[in-house]
């Protein structure tokens, strides 16, 4: 499966992928309505994913995890989101946090968390975006101040996934003493002052749980701050999560393709099955192309990420590069391709496709998310321009 | 307002439009959530529309109606759908049936219905589409057979709006004695054998009510059949309803524009209000163009329709021409423009726009309908090609 | 043909349109290669257009012209550009200048020019754009200074069509004494100091002739300045020319449609003529829709223009409104639709369509121009936003 | 550079790529006009490419070639087409033939040709498409008949690149004795009966030379037929050439990006350099994304191709699989992305960009070719559908 991996690692990854596929067919696909109903989090299916030894599959072996590469994680996420994209999203999003822990945290601080998550599953919550700081994180107003060996954190966070069920939160906050300094701070979920304001009633991806959160004078030891600039650390973590968000679109597009083919085998047009109609064939050919290109872009971006992680000092290397061009391109491309698939899909099933009796409506809503979360197109285009077009030396 | 109308008619139309606008601001706009909740039909707001003397505004003066031209109806529908597109859809869709009654029915048969609808409001139900006959009505299997002075009708109809609340249904059925013959038949709602199977749980336009209906040996007098080929009669009626469906996109797009401008006056980007951002300005400039072009296309198609209705023998003229190129183009163009607006709109409001706390999600769902109902793009393209491109003499 | 016109005017317009069509079939269509070869200007065909009494058809009857409305001119331009879009462009572009003359000039000054152009044809040259002032005319550096009863004009103008063959030039220049003041000044072609720097080797529309021009101390009487702000005057004239530029796309799209149908009647795909292929039908149905919508938008914008011209004081009315929303929308929409047609067309004819043995390549180049000239999409979107979206009262 | 290659191979590939880049900057970039003028073939620059040891770089070491992988060839083609896409096209297109020779020919037959091409450069001509058999090669009418130990070939071929300068032609023909059998036959260029009918005057890619060719009773030994079904053999070769055609779009897009950045550093908009304009930044960000995705798709497809070539029996493996999904997806995706870049580019440079004084017009014409040659979108969509969507087992 993986181009660069040893035969052993490839076999292990293939075996794991097979188990994910079985899990999806047994536990997820039969329950589409359940996931779309904004089920209580964590879902029973999350627990079963842990029981199956599949939770947090990407955590490295040195912490007791399965150590699956990001390259192979792309295929796992494609399988999970073929089942339910919201469930997939909730299952992999902790990678944003574990990547930061791994690269930017003291081993003694982060090891227990990573080992626990490898052993018994569970999620991390990332508290970054705010009402006035969605795409521009430099506008964050959540603050921390040092008070002896402690830091005290207060602020309102807008969109944060998995937070309620997490044992550990990672909060991006601004230094009260210096406007220009940001940190990522570990805040145990049970810390006094962490308040879940509400769970958002999302349009799609409703198998995941996203919250508005308030932090009111939360106190944690000062060493709970990760090393380095908080916004840069976040960029590093986003490299992983953006690639896997992009990969959810692969599974969703595959689902649209398969539903379309099923429909076309029974639907008649001009006296022949739809499957023999040239316009239909053209739409499916286009979707197949998009699937292939999305997959290859996600894999290439993930392989680049894996390459940094395999370096002697991955933390420094990744800190220097910051947000990866290929990860940005994967997120943006898959968002645009997802919307192309949603557009084709939402026209495919006639009137029935515009009712809740048919699953396409849910898929269209899920597909929309890929282009919005962790940077809409305008934000990502701007990042690509500023980071990779303006500096002549970075063009290629 | 209307290019060709007399000054008097123009003044009346402007006055009526003003009243519609007031109605929308008082009765519809404050209740967006209500309409999106699939409210029981008919809604109290429908009753209030009738009280305000605004129901079925297009019915000609000779039947006691306000006699508003289709040209001016475009603006009325734009106002109504600015409030709620589902409510608008339910309010105007009877024009599909009243047009058929007016042009294809015996005066003695249809006059009482048209006079009642002019006087006391109320809706018509059109029973045309079937599960295996959505876009291709030639595949209809609902049948009628003559039995003395009666006809007996049986069959399953898939999507039919307003049916439950209607006093009169218009059923498109095939002659049991001759496969190639179709009729439109008047079936009073209370006729034995008319069964509402279910109300569809629509993705959008939820302020309207659409049903699956079964007809089981419904018996009506043989003279309840309209004159002429049933499929041709339906085409004639669709000319009116397709143009007004297209017009719903105008109101929806105006709503997206106004919400965007409101948002942009408070949202900050790169240290300045969004309203001063060039990318935002470009999006709004594009939407403004689409609004203008949609409006002009709908008005032009409606004026062509009005032109036929003003002829000495409108029934013959319309029967000869069948489906109007301009009406097809209006429906298809506005469907495509609507989806462009939906795409821009669904990216406009960041994460909040992906929650049910923000109205854009509903607008996106409503916008989708324009391109699907009464002929998706593939169907309309095929009609335009067959009717207006292949016959060299019809090209212009 | 024209909605609001008297029967007589409609008959005259129809008759004229018929003559234009005959002219195009006799004089233009057989010579596509000739026009694409950047022929010397004016072409013999321009002379023949004048002989046929068809030159400058829009000049009002009070100046001895045919007085065709802009609404009817849309159809004339569609016919001309069906023949050759460059020829059409060169034939109608003087309307930008005659409109300014009519609305912003002293009768004694402009009447001789308008009468001459009505009587014997000929063109006007507009000198507006500069190398650093393409879309932003406020950046114009061409200056005029008053010297007694004279003005002296100097500057470099970038793109100016018809200039070499014109008897009269209209120069947009800035007041040397006041940076904020602009005027449109009549400069006879033979004025000393008018220098044609070069004729541009255009990518398309090569049947027209566009020049780079230098003005070196050109001296004209001070009363040769038109009334009012020069940039506003230009906006007024652009209303007419933008609508007719938009209309060239109609003729080009019709030509692509007809060539495609011709091709599809002989080309075989999957064992059947292409004309029976569903994908082909879909493309042609889409083009037919675009043609209909372009035509209706151009006609609506032109009818709005005609409405202003029919007012008691058209100059004041038009000066107040400035650039018309509908004219901007027509230019932008037709530019985008033109590019859609070009995209479809450039894929239609296989390898042959990528050679100069087939006319589609020329049509694609011509189609591109519609979206570029007199304001690219970014410029027009910005104008629509600033003029018609930001001012709440102008929204509709 | 190459993911799977040994460090040595990677270093050699990087070194070669550096030499290609230098060659392009020295020999190609300064002569854009020369290549656009349909220069006589072969060009002096082709000879210089050979002198520089860069011709036919992909020929395996066992034939004396540089043995560059297809994966690394993607980057070479991107560099060449950054210089001139037509020159690139002419330089790599022989890979279509050499791949067939390598996989489907007897060693004794093909080795001399491959060794000569490795040693002294030169090109192959592929004679496949016909006037009535562009996308559907099953409609080929060129025939061969066996006559003792000879075959005699006659027919008309439509588009064939490099033919006139080639020493060897590969002709796809139908067996006169059995309509269902096709062969690829080696025909030395000097064989009696090979007639160049004309060189096509192409719209773009004019640095390459494409011909219409007639074969009149050409006689070659019967063993000059390659093994296996001729159409399948062609599919195998097209895998390589389609991927490299796709890769030309990368270089073209990079050129558009760099030209845009150059322009934006001097062009002023709203009182600031264009490079600081948000709309401009968005366009460049989009192009950068497209470049990254095109490159990764081409590399992934090429790596898949290389994987087959590295198998124990590459010929059987490739013959079984036929046309590669990833190669089709690369060709189609890059064609669509190229057109997106062309659309953005053709609007970028204002009026100047619509003249032959600016290079963008040429780039737009070159970009168009990617989507047309070796299968337009309709053809490729159909292939993807038939080969990879309909067979359930091939979906992934």
pLDDT of residue A4: 52
Q: What is the pLDDT of residues D318-357, one digit of tens each?
A: 999 999 999 999 999 999 999 999 999 999 999 999 999 9
Show the DSSP H helices in chain B as ranges.
7-23, 32-36, 44-51, 70-83, 85-92, 95-104, 107-120, 230-266, 278-309, 314-321, 325-348, 360-370, 377-384
Residue C161 has which token pair? Answer: 């069509």
- Over residues B164-176, the pLDDT tens digits come to 999 999 999 999 9
- Quote the CA–CA distance of D59 and D42 in Å, as a whole number: 20
Chain C interface with D: residues with Cβ < 8 Å: 129, 132, 134-136, 139, 158-159, 200-204, 268-270, 279, 339, 343, 346-347, 350-351, 353-357, 361, 368-369, 371-373, 376-378
Residue A1 banded pLDDT, cuts 50, 70, 90: very low
- List, for residues C34-68, the tens digit of each pLDDT value: 999 999 999 999 999 999 999 999 999 999 999 99
B75 contact residues in C (CB cutoff 8 A): none
Q: Give the residue ranges of chain D where pLDDT is below 50.
A: 1-3
**DSSP character at residue D313:** S
Q: What was the pLDDT predicted at B5?
A: 59
As a whole number of angstroms, the distance between CA A122 and CA A120 comes to 7
- Report percent pLDDT > 70 for chain A: 99
| Residue C281 in this model has a pLDDT that exceeds 50 | yes
For residue C129, how far is the Cα from the chain centroid? 15
Domain-by-domain residue ranges, chain D?
Answer: 7-120, 124-224, 230-394
How many Cβ atoms are within 10 Å of C199's Cβ, its own excluded? 15
Instruction: Please tell me which residue of chain C has the smallest CA distance to D362.
Output: C203
With CA atoms as reference, report the closest residue to B181 among B237, B149, B138. B138
> Percent of chain B beyond pLDDT 90?
93
| Spatial CA neighbour of C309 closest among C80, C6, C98, C156 | C98
Out of B257, B299, B325, the one facing C292 most closely (by C-beta) is B325
Q: Residue B23 region, left (φ>0) first, then alpha (ψ -120 to 50), else beta?
A: alpha
Q: Which residues contact A252 (CB under 8 A, 6 or more apart)?
A: A81, A82, A85, A338, A341, A363, A366, A367, A370
Q: How many CB pairs under 8 A join B and D?
A: 10
For chain C, state the CA radius of gyration: 21
D59-68 long-range contacts, Cβ below 8 Å, gap at least 24?
Answer: D59/D98, D59/D114, D59/D117, D59/D118, D60/D102, D60/D114, D63/D111, D63/D114, D63/D115, D63/D118, D64/D115, D64/D118, D64/D119, D65/D114, D65/D117, D65/D118, D66/D12, D66/D16, D66/D118, D68/D13, D68/D16
Other C-beta atoms lying within 10 Å of the C-beta of residue D156: 17
Q: What does the pLDDT read at residue B270?
A: 85
Q: What is the pLDDT of residue D5?
A: 59
Pick from C82, C282, C285, C332 the residue to mutate for testing the B interface (most B CBs within 10 Å). C285
Residue A133 has what pLDDT?
86
Instruction: List C-alpha distances in Å: B241 to B93, B293, D109, D176, D387.
Output: 6, 19, 71, 59, 42
- Tell me the C-alpha distance between A58 and A60, whole Å: 6
C-chain residues near B299 (CB < 8 A) = 300
Chains C, D: CB contacts under 8 A, how many?
Answer: 85
Chain A residue at shortest CA distance from C283: A279
Per-residue H/E/C for A168-231: EEEEEEEECCEEEEEEEEEEECCCCCEEEEEECCECCCCCCCEEEEEEEEEEEEHHHECCCCHH
Find out whether B239 and B270 touch, Cβ atoms under 8 Å.
no
| Rounded distance between C-alpha atoms, residue A183 and residue A188, angstroms | 16
pLDDT given at position A257: 98
pLDDT by residue (tens digit) across D374-395?
Answer: 999 999 999 999 999 999 999 9
**What's the confidence (pLDDT) of residue B3?**
46
Average pLDDT over residues B65-83: 97
User: Per-residue pLDDT tens for A74-85?
Assistant: 999 999 999 999
Q: What 8-state DSSP symbol labels residue D202?
A: B
Question: What is chain A's percent helix, strand, coil content, to nearest 5?
Answer: 60, 15, 25
pLDDT of residue D1: 35
Grouping H, G, I as helix, E, B as strand and the rest as coil, residue D52 is: coil
Band (pLDDT 50/70/90 cuts) for residue C138 is: confident
Q: How far off is chain A from C279, nearest CA to CA, in Å?
A: 5
The model's confidence at residue C148, banded by pLDDT at 50, 70 and 90, is: very high
Greatest alpha-carbon pair distance for chain C in Å reads 80
In CATH terms, the superfamily for domain C230-394 is Butyryl-CoA Dehydrogenase, subunit A, domain 3 (1.20.140.10)
pTM of full prediction above 0.95:
yes
Bridge partners of D130, per DSSP, are D133
Chain A environment of B158 (Cβ under 8 Å): 351
- Quick one: pLDDT band at residue C5, thresholds 50, 70, 90? low
Beta-carbon-side half-sphere exposure of residue B135 (alpha carbons within 13 Å): 24
Residue A6 pLDDT exceeds 80: no
Chain D residue set in contact with C, beta carbons under 8 Å: 129, 132, 134-136, 139, 158-159, 200-204, 268-270, 279, 339, 343, 346-347, 350-357, 361, 368-369, 371-373, 376-378
Residue A251 to residue A237: CA distance in whole angstroms: 22
Nearest CA to A291 out of A248, A333, A254 is that of: A254
Distance from CA of C303 to the nearest CA of B (A): 9
pLDDT of residue A5: 59
* Chain-chain contact of B380 with C329 (C-beta, under 8 angstroms): no
Residue of D nearest to A376 (CA): D282
Residue from B276, B279, B281 whose CB has the most chain D CBs within 10 Å, to mutate = B279
Interior angle at CA A300, CA A294 and CA A305, nearest 5:
125
User: B366, B252 in Cβ contact below 8 A?
Assistant: yes
Rounded to a whole number of angstroms, the distance from the CA of C170 to the nearest CA of chain D is 20
Pairing verdict, β D268-269 and D210-221: unpaired
Protein fold of A124-224: Butyryl-CoA Dehydrogenase, subunit A; domain 2 (2.40.110)
Q: Which helix (H) or strand (E) holds C390?
A: none
Please report the pLDDT score of residue D270 as a whole number: 85
Question: In Å, what is the CA distance from D202 to each residue of B350, C204, D207?
Answer: 47, 16, 10
pLDDT at A3 (0 to 100): 46
Q: Does domain C7-120 bear CATH number 2.40.50.180?
A: no
* Helices B230-266 + B85-92 axis angle, to 10: 160
Strand partners, A264: none
| H or E element at residue D236 | helix D230-266
| Residue A2 predicted with pLDDT over 70 | no
Residue pLDDT, tens place only, B120-155: 999 999 999 999 888 788 899 999 999 999 999 999
């Amino acid at each position: 499966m993986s181009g660069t991996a040893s035969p052993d690692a490839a076999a292990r990854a293939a075996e794991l992928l097979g188990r994910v596929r079985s899990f999806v067919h047994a536990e997820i696909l039969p329950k589409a309505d359940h996931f779309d109903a904004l089920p209580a989090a964590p879902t029973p299916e999350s627990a079963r994913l842990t029981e199956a030894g599949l939770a947090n599959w990407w955590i490295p072996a040195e912490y007791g995890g399965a150590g699956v590469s990001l390259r192979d994680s792309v295929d796992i996420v494609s399988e999970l989101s073929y089942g339910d994209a919201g469930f997939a999203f909730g299952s992999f999003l902790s990678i944003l946090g574990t990547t930061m822990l791994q690269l930017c945290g003291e081993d003694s601080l982060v090891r227990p968390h990573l080992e626990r998550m490898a052993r018994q599953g569970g999620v991390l919550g990332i508290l970054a975006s705010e009402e006035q700081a969605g795409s521009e994180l430099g506008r964050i107003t959540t603050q921390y101040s040092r008070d002896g060996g402690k830091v005290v954190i207060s602020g309102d966070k807008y969109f944060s996934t998995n937070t309620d069920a997490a044992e550990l939160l990672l909060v991006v906050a601004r230094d009260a003493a210096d406007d220009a300094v940001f940190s990522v701070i570990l805040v145990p979920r049970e810390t006094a002052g962490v308040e879940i304001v509400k769970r958002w009633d999302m349009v799609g991806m409703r198998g995941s749980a996203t919250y508005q959160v308030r932090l009111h004078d939360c106190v944690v030891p000062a060493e709970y701050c990760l090393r380095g600039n908080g916004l840069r650390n976040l960029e590093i973590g986003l490299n992983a999560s953006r690639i896997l968000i992009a990969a959810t679109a692969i599974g969703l597009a595959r689902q649209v393709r398969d539903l379309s083919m099923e429909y076309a085998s029974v639907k008649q047009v001009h006296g022949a099955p739809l499957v023999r109609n040239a316009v239909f064939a053209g739409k499916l050919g286009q979707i197949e192309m998009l699937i292939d290109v999305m997959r290859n872009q996600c894999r290439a971006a993930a392989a680049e990420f894996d390459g940094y992680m395999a370096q002697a000092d991955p933390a420094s290397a990744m800190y220097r590069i910051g947000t990866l061009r290929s990860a940005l391109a994967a997120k943006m491309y898959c968002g645009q391709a997802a919307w192309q698939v949603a557009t084709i899909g939402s026209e495919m099933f006639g009137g029935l496709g515009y009712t809740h009796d048919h699953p396409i409506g849910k898929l269209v809503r899920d597909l929309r998310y890929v282009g919005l979360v962790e940077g809409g197109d305008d934000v990502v285009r701007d990042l690509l321009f500023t980071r990779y077009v303006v500096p002549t030396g970075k063009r290629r």
